[in-house]
Amino acid sequence: METKNYITVSELNYYLYRTIAAEELLQNIPVMGEVSGLSIAGNHLYFTVKDEGAQIAACFFHFKKSSYLPAEGEQVLLFGSPEYYQKGGKLSFVVNRIEPFGKGKLFAELEKLRQRLAGEGLFDAARKRPLPRFPLKVGIVTSLSGAVIYDIVRTFRKNNKITDLTCINVPVQGEGAVDAICEGLRLADTQGFDAIILARGGGSSEDLMPFNDEKTVRAVGNMRTVTVCAVGHETDYSLCDFAADARAMTPTAAAEMLSFNAKELAEQIVEKTIRAGAMVSLRTDALYQKVKSRTRDVRHICSSRLNAYAQKIALRTQKAMRLADARMTLAERRTESLLAKLSALNPAALLQKGYFRAMKDGKDVRRIGDLVCGDIFRLYGADGTLDAEVLSTEYKETL
């Protein structure tokens, strides 16, 4: 007969179960830790209790309403014993009493960070921008491996098929998630989207921690594009919710906030276009009649005024003509008088009377003293010129 040199899984689990159950030091002990992932099924309470170095699943069977119900992130004191479930190979801490111990360190740190960022104005309502009424390009920063992206797309496509949806794939939990989410947001912010959804499904507090990281929160707060944060379930809150322009209780709710019914919109546009056309037609007819009436009024007024102006012009023209005739007559008389005077003063007329004009070297000789014996000068008469020589002079000096 072959010798057995192994044990089965059942044997191993039974041994572990007996070992833990037989250890008196582990029976009905107080354990202090922070509550995470709290859920209630029937009258049983399930959650994880943790500290900075480790965590363990916990359950409180037959939980009573009179018992203390801890909040997410709260530090509590649990009384109970660890139990090893043989069939499933799972170790858990079975609780029989819960007492409050104070809020957990993680919750306190998050609250401190929230207060500091709020003090910087990162969560101010004045920074919030309204969501676009009809977004045609929407970016979704989430993981393609989860059901979130399908829920969002399905919700959008229920209402319309014209909104362009683009997913930027990033890990939403685990190591490196914070940097990947921040880089995804920065990339989305450069794509010209009308709005951006930052989304992930529900999970424990640890799963949601990337959305409470200061780097992620600041990345959301610095977005130039309108951003909706849809992280977790209705009761889940992250610091990114406060920094975003809007918070959606779930990713599906985010899609409902941004989607619009394209068919209804088209029908409204057609209806309003028809109504607008009818209104324009009515107003056009009314304005035409008004213009036609005003045109008749203007014609009548213009005709009356033109007749009055024509009469004034005719009267003033007649008056101007009379004045002009009188002034012309006066001007003619003055002109004739001046011509007569000019004619009398005309040197040519004097020459006709027998006078001569004497000039020497191109200059008029006005006095006898201008000439001396022997000077040659020229005389101008009515019928010509002659050159003469001064033989002698005799003149009288004048005072």
Q: In the structure encoding, which two tokens stand for residue 366, read together?
A: 């006005």
pTM above 0.75, yes or no: no
CATH 2.40.40.20 is held by the domain 109-124+134-260: no
Longest CA span, the chain = 192
Bridge partners of residue 114, in order along the sequence: none
CATH architecture of 9-103: Beta Barrel (2.40)
Q: How far apart are CA 56 and CA 58, in angstroms?
A: 6
Contact 109, 74 (CB under 8 A): no
Pairing type for strands 164-169 and 90-103 reads unpaired
Checking if the pLDDT of 350 tops 70, the result is no
Phi, psi at residue 9, to the nearest 5°? -60, -40
Tens digits of residue pLDDT in 169-194: 999 998 899 999 999 999 999 999 99
Domains 9-103 and 109-124+134-260 share a fold: no
Cβ density class 38-57: b for 16+ within 10 Å, e for less: beeeeeebbbbbbeeeebee
Bridge partners of residue 364, in order along the sequence: 359
Contact 390, 373 (CB under 8 A): yes
Residue whose entry in the numeric block shows the structure tokens 């040519």: 348
Least confident residue range of 250-264, 298-312, 340-354, 373-387? 340-354
Non-local (6+) Cβ contacts of 380 within 8 A are 351, 356, 357, 358, 359
Determine the pLDDT at residue 95: 94
Checking if the pLDDT of 399 tops 60, the result is no
Residue of 131, 164, 159 whose CA lies nearest to 247: 131
Contact 97, 70 (CB under 8 A): no
Least confident residue range of 84-93, 118-127, 213-222, 354-363? 354-363
Tens digits of residue pLDDT in 314-336: 888 888 888 888 888 888 888 88
Residue of 72, 75, 106 whose CA lies nearest to 232: 72
Tens digits of residue pLDDT in 193-202: 999 999 998 8
Tens digits of residue pLDDT in 59-104: 999 887 767 888 888 888 899 999 999 998 999 999 998 888 755 5
Q: In the structure encoding, which two tokens stand for residue 240, read together?
A: 């990114």
Determine the pLDDT at residue 194: 96
Confidence band, pLDDT 50/70/90 cuts, at residue 344 = low
Confidence band, pLDDT 50/70/90 cuts, at residue 385 = confident
**Sequence ranges of the domains in the chain:** 9-103, 109-124+134-260, 263-345, 349-389
